[in-house]
């Protein structure tokens, strides 16, 4: 019996018993434990909302399935209704009993997915009881593969930072603080501001962007170095180092680094990937690099397939850049690649949809560490910012996928002194506005609004109710939909002019409206979005929010997918909602087993109202006239489910100068 089985053996998971599980270390989300709970058919409730608990408990009592209910609590959990608490059995989960060799506070800071690997490392290396700093060092070395003692030069340091930030090595703050502490005592690194470049991905890439121009100027033997906030305008990044060079190619291809205007390179210099060219050659080069990278993973399979949500978020972003660029290019070169790119998209969706069916239930309950994993976790995450005195604007761009985000981002990065931190977040399935947007504005799972899942009419009330529960008054909270109707800048500013305002929730419907009326597929949708961003003066609107002291968080309720109609037989049972890529019923529906591109989504298991029975599209299927091509949503493709999450702020030195 392994340690996960030993912990869960405290409960009769297949019996109709409800447990209160005290779990301050998030062990309920440890992958093996989560699998054991799911395989037993037990229900895990991990929400802090007492009303949601009551609803879940009553549904569980009335269920014909005799399986356990696990009510996960932590130290600061609100009170549980008396009748539920009185009749429950209590269980304690404690990671320090599993790994007693390491400091308990260090263990508690870890993500649950790391516990298994850590325990194996402790066994392999025979660690004795370690103090806090030694425990932190042990985790850095064996979980994050970072050994600070071998970082002896600035070349070593840059390699470490590129690997950390580009490969997405996310670690809780306590481990980053320890890494900073061990690096900043080195005399050779005295000029470095580790408090900025170690924890902050955006800050590090801004530094790398500055260093790139210095590299080009050095290569061309120029000396007119631009002003920089970094060490004496000195080039410290060895871009010609082979390990760094490989990463830099990908950083420009992905759009993380931006190409610059520069003259003076030789015809065969590798640096052209980071220089603006007069023709489409550079974009074609980016397409080929991204295509080769993703093909190695999903077609050739030389690289491991994504196993966690963070990796899928990165794939969604990269594939969005690839598709956006390929749609914008013309000529024989891109035409020759188009069929292969389409095949790549299909392969990615095939793997993602399989992964999603296995992992969606775990995602719903995954606690937020540094960034939320799902839309309904965003309001609580925003509240952490508000509690620190930061004004926040949540800008929801209805229907925006990562393809359209690339155009949005282009307009934002032109704003002076702006920082954009790009992430991804998972929408709800089915990926329709009424379900996903209500979850986003309410901070609750859709099972909590069983009477309004089909409408957006209650969004404003749900948004205000969330913030009222956090202690804000109505005058401190704003909400508005169809924000694009305010074309004039002054009219736009009137939406948030009140000095009392602390939180704004705005919706831009333009992309979704265009999507449902577009003829010509994704290329024309992208063109329409690009033109609208210019005409509406999107960058000026964002700059106005920043000037008013807001941190702007941009996301979408769902993305979009190109699809082709496959028709759908006349239904014996009437659908409550007939979407292009989803059908929602109030009863189970029989459909042919040969419909491999249609999936019955387990609503009750995955956080939806228990009386809903969705049929969702896979791949490029649509429930419309056979052969008709559309851009739609409602299904479970990567492009619909994983949407952008971007944090737009002023650069820190600008904020400080305004104080």
Q: What is the pLDDT of residues 418-477, one digit of tens each?
A: 999 999 999 999 999 999 999 999 999 999 998 899 999 999 999 999 999 999 999 999
Q: Looking at the domain assignment, is residue 113 inside a domain?
A: no
Q: CATH number, domain at 522?
A: 3.40.720.10
Residue with tokens 């397939």: 305
Q: Are 318 and 293 in contact (CB under 8 A)?
A: yes
549-568, pLDDT tens digit by residue?
999 999 999 999 999 999 87
56-75, pLDDT tens digit by residue?
899 898 887 789 999 999 87
Classify residue 398 as exposed, middle or buried by CB count within 10 Å of its CB (0-12, 13-18, 19+).
buried
With vertex at residue 426, the alpha carbon angle to CA 607 and CA 560, rounded to the nearest 5 degrees, is 110
Q: Looking at the domain assignment, is residue 161 inside a domain?
A: no
Q: Are 398 and 483 in contact (CB under 8 A)?
A: no
Distances (CA, A) of 467 to 333, 374, 471, 504: 52, 19, 6, 11
The domain in which residue 407 lies consists of 364-560+641-658
Percent of the chain with pLDDT over 90: 65
Q: Are 8 and 36 in contact (CB under 8 A)?
A: yes
Higher-confidence position of 305 and 360: 360
Quick one: pLDDT at residue 169? 84
For residue 178, is pLDDT > 90?
yes
For residue 528, is pLDDT > 50?
yes
d(CA 324, CA 254): 11
d(CA 359, CA 659): 45
Alpha-carbon torsion 406, 630, 298, 636, what sign? positive
Q: How sure is the predictor about 228, in pLDDT bands with cuts at 50, 70 and 90?
A: very low
410 shares a domain with 306: no
Complete DSSP assignment for 497-531: --TT--EEEEEE-HHHHHHHH-SSHHHHHHHHHHH
Classify residue 392 as exposed, middle or buried by CB count within 10 Å of its CB (0-12, 13-18, 19+).
buried
For residue 231, is pLDDT > 80?
no
Q: Looking at the domain assignment, is residue 601 inside a domain?
A: no
306 shares a domain with 379: no
Q: Looking at the domain assignment, is residue 645 inside a domain?
A: yes
526 shares a domain with 405: yes
For residue 52, is pLDDT > 70?
yes
299 shares a domain with 227: yes
425 shares a domain with 372: yes
Q: Phi/psi of residue 648, each to 5°?
A: -110, 120
User: Where among 323, 348, 363 does a domain terminate?
Assistant: 363
Residue 264 Ramachandran class (φ > 0 left, ψ -120 to 50 alpha, else beta): left
For residue 653, is pLDDT > 70?
no
Distances (CA, A) of 29 to 14, 359, 365, 511: 19, 11, 8, 36
Q: Looking at the domain assignment, is residue 503 inside a domain?
A: yes
Q: Looking at the domain assignment, is residue 622 inside a domain?
A: no
Rounded to a whole number of angstroms, the distance between the first and last alpha carbons of the chain is 59
Q: Phi/psi of residue 417, each to 5°?
A: 55, 45
535 shares a domain with 518: yes
Q: Looking at the domain assignment, is residue 594 inside a domain?
A: no
Q: Looking at the domain assignment, is residue 382 inside a domain?
A: yes
User: Where among 93, 122, 148 does a domain terminate?
Assistant: 93
548 shares a domain with 399: yes
Query: H or E stretch including 630?
Result: strand 629-632
d(CA 271, CA 479): 46
285 shares a domain with 396: no
337 shares a domain with 455: no
434 shares a domain with 524: yes
Which residues, 6+ apart, have CB-to-CB distance to 110 below 8 Å?
Answer: 118, 139, 143, 172
3-state secondary structure (DSSP) of residue 13: coil
Which residues, 6+ apart, have CB-to-CB distance to 101 below 8 Å?
Answer: 122, 127, 128, 129, 130
507 shares a domain with 419: yes
In the chain, the number of structural domains is: 3
385 shares a domain with 329: no
User: Where among 61, 93, 125 does a domain terminate?
Assistant: 93
């Amino acid at each position: 019996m392994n340690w996960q089985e030993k912990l869960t053996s405290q409960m009769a998971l297949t019996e109709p018993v409800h447990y209160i599980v005290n779990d301050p270390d998030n062990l309920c989300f440890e992958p093996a434990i989560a699998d054991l709970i799911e395989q037993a058919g037990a229900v895990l409730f991990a929400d802090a909302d007492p009303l949601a608990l009551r609803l879940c408990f009553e549904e569980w009592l009335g269920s014909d399935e005799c399986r356990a209910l696990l009510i996960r609590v932590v130290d600061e959990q609100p009170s549980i209704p008396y009748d539920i608490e009185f009749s429950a059995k209590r269980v304690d989960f404690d990671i320090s009993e599993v790994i007693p060799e390491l400091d308990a506070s260090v263990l508690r800071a870890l993500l649950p997915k790391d516990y298994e690997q850590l325990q194996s490392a402790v066994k392999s290396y025979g660690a004795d009881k370690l103090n806090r700093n030694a425990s932190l060092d042990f985790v850095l070395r064996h979980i994050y593969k970072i050994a600070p003692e071998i970082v002896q030069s600035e070349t070593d340091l840059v390699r470490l930072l590129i690997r950390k930030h580009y490969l997405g090595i996310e670690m809780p703050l306590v481990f980053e603080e320890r890494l900073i502490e061990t690096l900043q005592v080195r005399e050779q690194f005295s000029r470095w501001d580790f408090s900025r470049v170690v924890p902050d991905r955006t800050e590090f890439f801004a530094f790398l962007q500055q260093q790139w121009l210095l590299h080009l100027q050095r290569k061309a033997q120029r000396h007119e170095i631009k002003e920089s906030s970094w060490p004496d305008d000195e080039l410290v990044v060895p871009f010609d180092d082979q390990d760094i060079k490989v990463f830099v190619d990908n950083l420009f291809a992905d759009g993380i680094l931006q190409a610059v205007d520069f003259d003076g390179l030789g015809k065969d210099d590798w640096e052209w990937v980071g220089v603006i060219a007069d023709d489409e050659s550079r974009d074609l080069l980016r397409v080929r690099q991204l295509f080769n990278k993703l093909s190695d993973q999903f077609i050739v399979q030389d690289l491991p397939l994504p196993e966690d949500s963070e990796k899928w978020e990165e794939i969604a972003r990269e594939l969005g850049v690839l598709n956006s660029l390929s749609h914008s290019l013309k000529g024989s070169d891109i035409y020759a690649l188009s069929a292969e790119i389409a095949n790549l998209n299909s392969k990615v969706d095939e793997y993602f949809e399989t992964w999603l069916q296995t992992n969606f239930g775990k995602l719903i309950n995954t606690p937020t560490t540094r960034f939320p994993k799902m839309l309904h976790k965003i309001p609580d995450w925003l509240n952490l910012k508000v509690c620190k005195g930061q004004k926040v604007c949540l800008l929801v761009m209805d229907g925006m996928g990562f393809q359209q985000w690339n155009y949005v981002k282009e307009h934002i990065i032109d704003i002076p002194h702006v920082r954009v931190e790009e992430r991804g977040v998972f929408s709800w399935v089915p990926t329709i506005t009424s379900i996903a947007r209500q979850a986003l504005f309410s901070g609750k799972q859709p099972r909590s609004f069983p009477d309004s899942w089909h409408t957006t009419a209650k969004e404003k009330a749900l948004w205000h109710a969330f913030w009222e529960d956090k202690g804000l008054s109505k005058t401190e909270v704003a909400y508005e939909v169809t924000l694009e109707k305010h074309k004039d800048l002054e009219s736009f500013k009137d939406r948030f002019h009140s000095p009392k305002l602390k939180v704004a929730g705005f919706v831009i419907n333009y992309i979704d409206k265009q999507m449902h009326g577009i003829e010509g597929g994704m290329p024309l949708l992208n063109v329409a979005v690009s033109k609208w961003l210019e005409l509406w003066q999107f960058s000026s609107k964002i700059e106005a929010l920043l000037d008013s002291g807001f941190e702007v968080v941009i996301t979408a309720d769902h993305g979009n997918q190109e699809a082709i109609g496959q028709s759908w037989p006349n239904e014996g049972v009437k659908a409550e909602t007939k979407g292009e890529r989803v059908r929602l019923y109030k009863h189970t529906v029989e459909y042919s087993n040969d419909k491999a591109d249609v999936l019955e989504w387990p609503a009750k298991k995955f956080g939806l109202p228990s009386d809903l029975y969705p049929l969702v599209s896979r791949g490029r299927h649509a429930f419309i006239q056979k052969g008709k091509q559309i851009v739609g949503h409602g299904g479970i493709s990567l492009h619909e489910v994983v949407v952008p999450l971007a944090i737009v702020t002023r650069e820190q030195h600008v904020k400080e100068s305004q104080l």
